């Protein structure tokens, strides 16, 4: 479903190469995890896939269900079914969370030639999902992420994901800063979306999230490349021994 | 009548030329006040671009003897306050339109027209007084000109709680119209009024509104200046605010080659509240856009709050100006004064010029001011787009969110919604 081939990326304004040939395929229905040292390029990969400015792809390709992601505007990628849960969710003062959500849902539906959701149906949908994620109604009324705690922001990302129901979900360190209970809620939120048709790319530093979201495949990224790929046991190995052995082996 | 002018004195020349071109009304209860206003004007002289107070805005088009013509915009939007059940008073290029206006009688409120008030009127002894007081410490000659020469206006006295808002509608139908209107609003103690204004007014429009609030009175003012691209306007809002009274004014400016909105608020009684806010959207692509908010708030009583919130969105070489002053007089303790002016520059061509000032002569006060200029937040823009919101819509959302604090100054939700809709329309037309 998501196919990344030999992806090379540098910064637009600087001669700094960040991704140095990433190859990765996520099949429908599968959960892939990416682990790797700080600064290895995990967030960069997620940004490049979702179309953030500031990066230049110098080589390689990325497709979603065969469609060339890199040729699309960020909003087109979203409408095509790509979703990124941000490592650092953005605060938008003055835009209500509900307005934001409804605008996003309707924009995607419009792009796909579907009808807009009615206000009443939308409210019902949001309330139900918010309840599952333990997000109170008050938070929905506030401006997007403004004054939210770190954990609240992450849960808000998952709420958006649940409501937008994307085909391909990328989660960038959604577990960072979450307490144990919140991590469980987030994992439940992700698991609820695992319907055998969606793909997931879960970026994390910790085994703990992977205890709840059982990955099918684990990748290790280092210095802009996937240096090793394995099963869930690879995450356990990282947890036990750190990256040193894996990196030494990769070189 | 004009004072003898030394050769080469530009100010005296333009003042004399302007006065010579005026059609000065005679007689009626305002006769004496108008005469005094004319004397004030002659003594001060009209502004020139050399004046400090007009450093950022060239007054030439406002002081010229003749108004430049302005094309009439075919406005395709429904009336901005159409959904509100307001008592409508319509002026077409400054001429009262009785057929288009509602009956002027309303419980708890007395409305008459300046042009029709006879020799005896409650506003005798009030007309022009707040304007005259507002000439110190900074001269506002165009307001004196207005008091001297206004052709019409409304005189509103509120004795109770007005059951409906009153709306002044200013239509612009003649390309060459040059209009001067002057209103006086007196709100008795504990009485309350919502006053709406909408429309471009004229090719050149000079409007003054004096508002005298009694103790505990409440005044809500919401104004939408017309979308006509080439119109020019200078407006003055003078208010005297007595103890415990509430004054709130909001203005939306969209388009206009030149707009100067002055607000001169005199907080005269203890525990009074005065807020003045403005949202501005200007795009100089079709026509020049220059908009200036000049505010002077004087705290002359104890325990009062003032708040200035001005937000300007500028595009394609548009210019926004803000000059805002808070003066805290000796003895005005426990003053809470706040002022913010911000611009969102949608491109590198536009500019925002701001001059915030505080002058404080009391020791127990809390005053703050801030002014910023910035571009659209790229991170927020990407976040919205990554959720599927198309670029143009995401930009509009962020522009509206930038303006939100100014719009939040409008208390009534239905009115705030009407304003937001206008802004959405303006943004949609520019996608
Ligand atoms: N816009 C940018 N400007 C400068 N350097 C950048 C930029 N974006 C990424 N980098 C650099 O690229 C490298 C990879 O960053 P990235 O955020 O992708 O790492 P990461 O694997 O997500 O790290 P972490 O685990 O700490 O989140 C880092 O060295 C980072 O400093
Ligand atoms: Mg990262």
3-state secondary structure chain B: CCCCCCCCCHHHHHHHHHHHHCCCCCCCCCHHHHHHHHHHHHHHCCCCCCCHHHCCCCCHHHHCCCCCCCCCCCCCCCCCCCCCCCEEEEEECCEECCCCCCCCCECCEEEEECCCCCCCCCCCCCCCHHHHHCCCCCCCHHHHHHHHHCCECEEEEECCECCCCEEEEEECCCCCCEEEEEEEEEECCCCEEEEEEEECCCCEEEEEEEEEECCCCEEEEEEEECCCCCCEEEEEEEEEECCCCEEEEEEEEECCCEEEEEEEEEECCCCCEEEEEEEEEEECCCCCCEEEEEEEEEECCCCCEEEEEEEEEEECCCEEEEEEEEEECCCCCCEEEEEEEEEEECCCCCEEEEEEEEEECCCCEEEEEEEEEECCCHHHHHHHHHCCCCHHHHHHHHHHHHHHHHHCCCCCHHHHHHHHHHHHHHHHHCC
Give residue B6's pLDDT. Answer: 53
Q: Is the ipTM beyond the 0.90 threshold?
A: yes
Q: Any residues with CB less than 8 A from the CB of B64 and at least 6 apart, and which?
A: B14, B18
Alpha-carbon span B419 to A131, nearest angstrom? 34
List beta partners, residue B69. Answer: none
Band of residue A251 on the pLDDT scale cut at 50, 70, 90: low
Compute the average pLDDT of residues A124-150.
89
Q: Measure CB to CB from residue A94 to each of B383, B388, B401 and give the nearest one.
A: B401
C-beta atoms of B387 and A93 within 8 A: no
Give distance in angstroms: CA of A88 to centre of ligand 2.
9
Give distance in angstroms: CA of A11 to centre of ligand 1.
10
* Percent of chain A whose pLDDT exceeds 90: 76
Compute the average pLDDT of residues A29-41.
96
**How crowded is residue B285: how many other Cβ atoms within 10 Å of its Cβ?**
12
Give distance in angstroms: CA of A38 to centre of ligand 2.
7
Q: Measure CB to CB from residue A107 to each of B379, B382, B390 and give the nearest one.
A: B390
Q: Which parts of chain A fold into alpha helices (H)?
A: 42-50, 74-79, 97-111, 119-132, 137-141, 150-164, 180-192, 207-212, 232-241, 244-250
C-beta atoms of B385 and A51 within 8 A: yes
Burial pattern A121-156, b for ≥16 Cβ within 10 A else e, equals ebeebbeebbeebebeeebbebbbbeebeebbbbbb
CB B210 within 8 A of CB B58: no
The encoded tokens of residue B421 equal 């809709």
**Candidates A41, A86, A177: which one to mutate for ligand 1, based on the most atoms within 8 Å of Cβ?**
A41
Compute the average pLDDT of residues A55-59.
97
Q: Measure CB to CB from residue B388 to each of A92, A93, A108 and give the nearest one.
A: A108
Alpha-carbon span A232 to A213, nearest angstrom? 10
Q: What residues in chain B have per-residue pLDDT under 50? A: 1, 5
**pTM: predicted TM-score of the whole model, two decimal places:** 0.91
Q: How far is A92 from chain B (nearest CA, A)?
A: 6
Residues from chain A contacting residue B384 (CB–CB below 8 Å): 92, 100, 103-104
The encoded tokens of residue B183 equal 């209103």
Give residue B1's pLDDT. Answer: 46
CB B158 within 8 A of CB B188: yes
- What are A144-182's pLDDT values in tens digits? 999 998 889 999 999 999 999 999 999 999 998 889 888
Residues from chain B contacting residue A50 (CB–CB below 8 Å): 386
CB A231 within 8 A of CB A218: yes
Give residue A19's pLDDT. Answer: 98
**Average pLDDT, rounded, for chain A:** 93
Burial pattern B9-38, b for ≥16 Cβ within 10 A else e, equals eebbbbbbebbeeeeebeebbbeebbebbb
The chain B residues in contact with chain A (CB within 8 A) are 377-380, 382-391, 393-394, 397-398, 400-405
Q: Measure CB to CB from residue B388 to each of A86, A94, A107 and give the nearest one.
A: A107
Band of residue A249 on the pLDDT scale cut at 50, 70, 90: confident
Residues from chain A contacting residue B393 (CB–CB below 8 Å): 103, 107
Give residue A17's pLDDT. Answer: 97
| Secondary structure element (H or E) that encloses residue A61, with its range | strand A55-64
Locate the chain B residue with the closest alpha carbon to A161: B387
Question: What are the boundaries of each domain within chain B?
Answer: 11-18+33-376
Give residue B316's pLDDT. Answer: 96
Q: How far is B381 from chain A (nearest CA, A)?
A: 9
C-beta atoms of A53 and B382 within 8 A: yes
């Amino acid at each position: 479903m998501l196919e990344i081939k030999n992806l090379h990326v540098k910064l637009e304004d600087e001669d700094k190469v960040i991704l140095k040939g990433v190859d990765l395929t996520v099949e429908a229905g599968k959960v892939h995890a990416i682990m790797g040292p700080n600064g290895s390029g995990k967030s960069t990969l997620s940004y490049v896939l979702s179309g953030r400015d500031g990066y230049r792809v110098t080589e390689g390709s990325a497709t979603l269900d065969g469609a060339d992601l890199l040729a699309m505007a960020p909003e087109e990628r979203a409408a095509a079914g790509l979703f990124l849960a941000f490592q650092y969710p953005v605060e938008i003062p003055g835009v209500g969370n509900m307005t934001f959500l409804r605008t996003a849902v309707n924009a995607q539906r419009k792009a796909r030639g579907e009808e807009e959701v009615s206000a009443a149906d939308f409210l019902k949908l949001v309330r139900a999902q918010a309840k599952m994620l333990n997000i109170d109604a008050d938070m929905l009324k506030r401006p997007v992420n403004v004054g939210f705690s770190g954990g609240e922001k992450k849960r808000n990302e998952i709420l958006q994901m649940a409501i937008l129901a994307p085909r391909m979900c990328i989660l960038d360190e959604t577990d960072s800063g979450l307490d144990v209970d919140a991590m469980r809620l987030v994992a439940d939120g992700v698991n609820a979306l695992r319907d055998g048709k969606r793909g997931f790319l879960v970026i994390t530093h910790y085994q703990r999230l992977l205890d709840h979201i059982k990955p099918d495949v684990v990748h290790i990224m280092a210095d802009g490349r996937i240096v090793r790929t394995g099963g869930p046991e690879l995450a356990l190995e990282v947890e036990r021994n750190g990256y040193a052995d894996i990196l030494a082996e990769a070189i | 009548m004009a004072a003898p002018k030394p050769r080469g004195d530009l100010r005296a020349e333009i003042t004399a030329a302007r006065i010579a071109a005026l059609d000065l009304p005679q007689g009626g209860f305002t006769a004496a006040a108008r005469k005094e206003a004319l004397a004030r004007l002659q003594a001060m002289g009209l502004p020139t671009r050399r004046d400090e107070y007009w450093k950022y805005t060239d007054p030439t088009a406002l002081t010229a003897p003749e108004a430049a013509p302005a094309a009439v915009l075919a406005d395709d939007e429904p009336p901005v306050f159409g959904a509100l059940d307001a008592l409508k008073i319509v002026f077409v290029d400054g001429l009262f339109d009785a057929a288009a206006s509602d009956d002027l009688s309303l419980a708890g409120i007395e409305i008459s027209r300046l042009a029709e008030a006879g020799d005896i009127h409650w506003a005798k002894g009030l007309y022009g007084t707040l304007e005259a007081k507002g000439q110190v410490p900074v001269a506002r000659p165009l307001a004196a000109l207005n008091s001297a020469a206004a052709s019409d206006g409304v005189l509103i006295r509120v004795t109770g709680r007005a059951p409906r808002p009153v709306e002044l509608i200013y239509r612009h139908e003649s390309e060459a119209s040059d209009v001067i209107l002057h209103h006086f609003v007196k709100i008795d103690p504990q009485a309350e009024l919502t006053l709406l204004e909408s429309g471009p007014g004229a090719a050149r429009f000079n409007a003054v509104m004096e508002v005298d609030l009694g103790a505990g009175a409440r005044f809500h003012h919401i104004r939408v200046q017309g979308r006509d691209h080439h119109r020019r306007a200078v407006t003055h809002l003078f208010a005297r605010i007595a103890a415990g009274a509430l004054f709130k004014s909001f203005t939306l400016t969209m388009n206009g080659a030149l707009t100067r909105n002055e607000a001169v608020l005199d907080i005269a009684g203890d525990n009074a509240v005065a807020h003045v806010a403005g949202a501005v959207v200007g795009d100089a692509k079709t026509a020049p856009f220059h908009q200036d908010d000049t505010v002077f708030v004087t705290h002359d009583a104890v325990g009062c709050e003032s708040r200035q919130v001005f937000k300007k969105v500028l595009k394609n070489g548009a210019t926004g100006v803000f000059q805002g002053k808070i003066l805290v007089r000796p003895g005005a303790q426990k003053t809470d004064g706040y002022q913010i002016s911000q611009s969102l520059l949608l491109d590198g061509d536009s500019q925002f010029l701001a001059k915030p000032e505080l002058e404080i002569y009391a020791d127990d006060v809390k005053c703050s001011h801030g002014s910023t200029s910035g571009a659209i937040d790229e991170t927020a823009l990407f976040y919205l787009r990554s959720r599927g919101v198309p670029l143009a819509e995401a930009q509009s959302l962020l522009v509206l969110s930038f303006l939100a604090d100014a719009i939040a100054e409008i208390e009534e939700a239905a009115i705030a919604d009407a304003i937001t809709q206008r802004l959405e329309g303006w943004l949609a037309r520019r996608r």
